[in-house]
Amino acid sequence: MTNKLKYFIGNWKMFGNTADLKKIYQINRFCSSFKKFKKSNKVIMCVPSTLIYLFSSKVKSKIISIGAQNCHFNEVEGPFTGSVNSSMLKKVGAKYIILGHSENRLEGDTNKIIIRKIEIALKNNLKVIFCIGETMQEKLKRKTFLILKKQLRILNKKKFNPNNIIIAYEPVWSIGSGKIPKSYYVKNVLKFIKKECKKIFKKKYLPALLYGGSVNAKNVRNFSSINELNGFLIGSASQSPKKFIDIIRNCYK
């Protein structure tokens, strides 16, 4: 597979407990001994907020970092029942954060809210995994590029450092459905995202680009010809160390 592949990001969603620390150790052991896994490659496990402190204090590995999955948009602490903000997540050891995930967009995260979250997260030195993607309806209406452009446009409003942003293209219809787009479709979309990023960042260095949505050990090879791809955002398969390890292994076959 392309040597540009660098990131294997897990999104545990609302699953997991403290005993699952052993899953992280298992993945770490594999990556440390797998010769094809380069030093510059990274595994980032975005776990529930309840596990960040334990996992980040126990896992002292250059390969694996612990990330969060979402946060409140308020910069300082406040009366927001049930919420945590990015500064709190950073303080307990998160290094990355997923923002703009379609499951959170469904719960009410608008582009306006997401840009605020991105801004504050970056201010707190969290690297942002920014998710974008179209619904099936939008795809059928051939609106994919239009939707992605709108979602990306929010990055234009601020002068963000592209080094601190990873963009995950996740077609909403693919998340948790077992359906994946054809590889030429993903390639075209990533090319489009890259073109838009060039306009936004006006720099040589652009954010890394990931694909996410029903990635598993079998279908991961379908993406092998996509040069624009820098890695994967993996949901349900990331909760099983075996499945996650098989994805990494199959990428390098």
The owner of tokens 């407990």 is 17
Segment near ligand PGA (CB under 6 A); pick from 24-32, 182-190, 191-199, 229-237: 229-237
Q: Quick one: 11 or 87, whose CB is closer to ligand PGA?
A: 11
- Alpha-carbon distance of 95 to 67, in angstroms, equals 5
Among 67, 100, 213, 241, binds ligand PGA (CB under 6 A): 213
**Residue 214 touches ligand PGA, criterion: CB under 6 A:** yes
**Residue 233 touches ligand PGA, criterion: CB under 6 A:** yes
Shortest approach of ligand PGA to residue 131 CB, angstroms? 7
Q: Quick one: 46 or 87, whose CB is closer to ligand PGA?
A: 46
Helix axes 144-156, 111-123, angle to 10 degrees: 40
Closest CA to 154 of 102, 202, 197: 197
**Residue 10 touches ligand PGA, criterion: CB under 6 A:** no
Which residues lie below 8 Å from residue 35, measured CB to CB, with a gap of 6+? none
Among 175, 200, 206, 209, binds ligand PGA (CB under 6 A): 175
Closest CA to 193 of 160, 168, 157, 221: 168
**Residue 11 touches ligand PGA, criterion: CB under 6 A:** yes
Q: Is 101 a catalytic residue?
A: yes
Contact (Cβ atoms closer than 8 angstroms) between residue 209 and residue 252:
no
